[in-house]
Amino acid sequence: MKKTLIAATAMMSILGTTAMAQEIGATFSRFDDNWLTVLRNGMVEYAATIDGLSYQQEDASDDLAKQIDQVKNFVAAGVDAIIVNIVDTSAGAAVSAAAGSTPLVYVNREPDNVNDLPSTQAFVASNEIESGTLSAFEICKNLRADGKAGGATGYLMNGQLSNQAAVQRSKDVHDVIGMDMCNFMTIIDEQTANWSRDEAQDLMTNWMSSGEPFDFVLANNDEMAIGAIQAMKAAGMDMADVQVGGVDASQDALLSMAGGDYDVTVFQDSVGQGTGSIDAALRLIAGEDVDQKVYIPFKLVTPANMGDFLDKN
């Protein structure tokens, strides 16, 4: 991966000197987020395949003020288009304004002003309402199939509480449990493990120390689900007795699924979002018409179809 990045950077600097060059600057909410890293690196690779495109990306380290400064810096540097993976989805107006008349594409996270974007701006992402819903509903069906429709208890692990996707995915879980078909499910407790595997291990072990029996664990992402699985296995639990659901379909998760520990995850299409956002930016630069709202669908992943996703994220 490092090699391709270096190659891509070298390529960009060569292309950057040609007269026909187009420049795209991108800013991402976090460089150390696993899924966003897949998205980012995919975009670097895709950008390198396009003649005359110079592509540069920056890390906003979860700091909205920093991200807005980065957008302004891109404008000042005269880039042709900007791609933003927004830090705070409720700050769409501020980010959109910072770009001025420079074309801007939001990727992966839906800004609150998505319905009022100026004609020079667009949005490419997946609809977060699908992800948590798909995962929780599949767990609900599995629990029914296991004969637990008379009542099932479990835990919910939240991602970072300041993050829109985390809040939405947890709300999805509650909405699914509110449905007639799934209201046999009860959540004993929900807490944040900050998207992180090791925090999830400790949280799960804390929960298990109370000794309450449970049937399912739902997590806002794969990393936390894997942490929960590791903690349960360390405590000697049989993973066949517990339904575990998450979101992302990361390779770590799929291999855990291949080992028979992990039950349900949801695939978020990084290639679709990444190439989609760059294509949209190029069309905006060229002054062509674009769909201002492009939703790339989430896909449910279970042991039955996991083979289709192994080399995707």
Partner 1 sequence: MSDTSHGTGGLSFDKTKRIWPSEMNVLLALIIIIVIFEILGQVLPYMNDQSFLFDTRGRFDSIFNEARLQIIILQVAIIGIIALGVTQVIITAGIDLSSGPLVAATAMIAMSFGQTEFVNGFANPKAVFGSWAMDLPVLIPVVIGLAFGALIGGINGTFVAYFRIPPFIATLGMFLICRGIALWWSAGNPVSFPTDQYAALGAGMMPVVWFLFLAAVFHVIMRYTLYGKHTYAIGSNEEAARMSGINVKRHKVMVYMIASMLAAFAGVVLSSKASTAQAGMGEFYELFAIAMAVIGGISLTGGRGSIIGTVLGAMVLGVIRSGFTYIKLDGSYQLMAMGGIIIAAVILDQFRQRSKA
Beta strands in 149-197 (DSSP E): 152-158, 185-192
Contact between residue 84 and residue 67 where contact means Cβ atoms under 8 Å apart: yes
Q: Is 140:118 a contact under the CB 8 Å cutoff?
A: no
Q: Which stretch binds partner 1 (CB under 8 A): 204-212, 269-277, 280-288, 295-303?
A: 204-212
Tokens matching residue 168: 């939405």
Residue from 176, 197, 265, 277 touching partner 1 (CB under 8 A): that is 197
Cβ contacts of 188 within 8 Å, gap of 6 or more: 153, 154, 155, 207, 212, 214
* Residue 212, amino acid: E
**# of chain residues touching partner 1 (CB under 8 A):** 42
202 scored as a contact of partner 1 (CB under 8 A): yes
* Site stretch for partner 1 (CB under 8 A), options 38-46, 71-79, 166-174, 272-280: 38-46
> Is there binding between residue 196 and partner 1 (CB under 8 A)?
yes
Please tell me the distance from the alpha carbon of residue 205 to that of residue 157, in angstroms, as a whole number: 13
Residue 246 binds to partner 1 (criterion: CB under 8 A): no
Each residue 252-281 as x (binds partner 1 by CB under 8 A) or -, in order, gives: x--x--xx----------------------
Quick one: 149 exposed, middle or buried, by C-beta within 10 A (0-12, 13-18, 19+)? Answer: middle
Per-residue x/- marks for partner 1, 59-98, CB under 8 A?
x---------------------------------------
Q: Distance (Å, rounded) from C-alpha 33 to C-alpha 39?
A: 10
Choosing from 198, 241, 291, 308, the residue that interacts with partner 1 (CB under 8 A) is: 198
Q: Which is nearer to partner 1, 2 or 147 (CB)?
A: 2
Reference 12, options 33, 28, 26; nearest CA is 26
Minimum gap (Å) between residue 300 Cβ and partner 1:
21
Which region among 133-141, 173-181, 184-192, 269-277 touches partner 1 (by CB under 8 A)? 184-192
Q: What angle do CA 119, 36, 219 make, to 5 degrees?
A: 115
The single residue listed with the structure tokens 């950077």 is 9
Is 211 a binder of partner 1 (CB under 8 A)? yes
Compare residues 252 and 279 and give the one whose CB is closer to partner 1: 252
Under rule CB under 8 A, residue 218 binds partner 1: no
> Would you count residue 240 as binding partner 1 (CB under 8 A)?
no
Question: What residues have CB less than 8 Å from 179, skipping those under 6 apart?
Answer: 140
Q: Report the SS3 class of residue 170.
A: helix
Give the binding site for partner 1 (CB under 8 A). Answer: 1-2, 5, 30-34, 37-38, 40-41, 59, 161, 189, 191-192, 196-198, 201-203, 205-211, 226-227, 230, 234-235, 251-252, 255, 258-259, 310-311
